[in-house]
Amino acid sequence: MIKDNLEKIKSRINSVVHCQQVTLIAVSKTRSVSEIQSAVDAGQYNFGENYLQESLDKIEALKDKGLVWHFIGPIQSNKTLKIAENFDWVHSVDRLKIAIRLNEQRPQNLGQLNVLLQVNIDNESTKSGVLVSEIGQVVSQFSSFENICLRGFMCIPNPNNSANSFSLMSKIMTEHRNLDTLSMGMSADMESAINNGATFVRIGTDIFGERV
Ligand SMILES: *Cc1c(COP(=O)(O)O)cnc(C)c1O
């Protein structure tokens, strides 16, 4: 079933994608090692996790498989060390303090940690991320970091307005030509995100089924 779902998602991606490379991230929060293993067997190797403790157990259990792990959940500052030590990408850097800590704590032998700045694209009080008006100022601070590399942006738009939000993100990307990664689009709005230049889509339920 996981294999069939992955095939369906990939054909949805291929039916809208133009020039950019789109990478499917299977969001595996709350899923077991054996569910992840089924996805690996079907050729999936990028996984997204939200909760640090459960993710560490899974990363450890699957450490010989060559998987790419993305941290996509809210980050408290006391969690940055383990994130810096165990993940390949962090999508949810939502304030400078977190970037500073990740930069200090990233083990040098692992190479640079790829990070995305989370943008609160609809200016919602319930969501984290920098405001659109703050992006330029925050991005400029990243040039001093040696152990993390800012690759682009991530957003979780309000579902009622996501096409407009994706289009605004696309415009923001054109103002930052040195960045190459845009993480946006979930099961319901993936096509619209890809049309607006998403390079990572994050899909959980449509791959693994409803979370219980
Ligand atoms: C859970 C989650 C997803 C995937 O959501 P589904 O509804 O399971 O597809 C994507 N992005 C983030 C940030 C999430 O927390």
Average pLDDT in the chain: 97
Residue 20 lies in a domain: no
Cβ of 52 less than 6 Å from ligand 1: no
- pLDDT for position 18: 83
pLDDT score of 212 = 78
pLDDT of 3 reads: 97
In-domain check, residue 7: yes
CA of 34 to the centre of ligand 1 (A): 19
* Domain interval for residue 9: 2-15+26-208
pLDDT tens for residues 163-173?
A: 999 999 999 99
Q: What is the pTM of this model?
A: 0.97
Q: Using one digit for the tens of pLDDT, what is the confidence trace for 84-105?
A: 999 999 999 999 999 999 999 9
Specify the 3-state DSSP secondary structure of 135: helix
Neighbour-count burial for 47-80, b at 16+ CB within 10 Å, e otherwise: bbbbebeebbebbeebeeeebebbbbbebeeebb
Considering its fold, how many domains does the chain have in total? 1
d(CA 48, CA 184): 13
Tell me: pLDDT of 20 over 90: no
Examine residue 21 and state whether it is found in any structural domain, yes or no. no
Query: What tens digit of pLDDT does each residue of 110-133 get?
Result: 999 999 999 999 999 999 999 999
CATH of the domain at 140: 3.20.20.10
Question: Closest ligand 1 atom, CA of 203?
Answer: 9
CB-based contacts of 162, cutoff 8 Å, min separation 6: 189, 192, 193
Is-contact 6 43, C-beta < 8 A? yes
Residue 19: band (very low, low, confident or very high) from pLDDT cuts 50, 70, 90: confident
Q: What is the mean pLDDT of residues 171-187?
A: 97
The answer to whether position 136 is within a domain reads yes
Atom 10 in ligand 1: residue holding the nearest Cα: 202
Query: Could you identify the atom of ligand 1 that is nearest to the CA of residue 154?
Result: 13
CA nearest ligand 1 atom 13, residue: 72
Whether ligand 1 lies within 6 angstroms of the CB of 116 is answered as no
Arithmetic mean of pLDDT, 16-39: 95
Q: pLDDT, tens digit, for every residue of 40-99?
A: 999 999 999 999 999 999 999 999 999 999 999 999 999 999 999 999 999 999 999 999
Side chain identity at 167, as an amino acid letter?
S
In a domain, 182, yes or no: yes
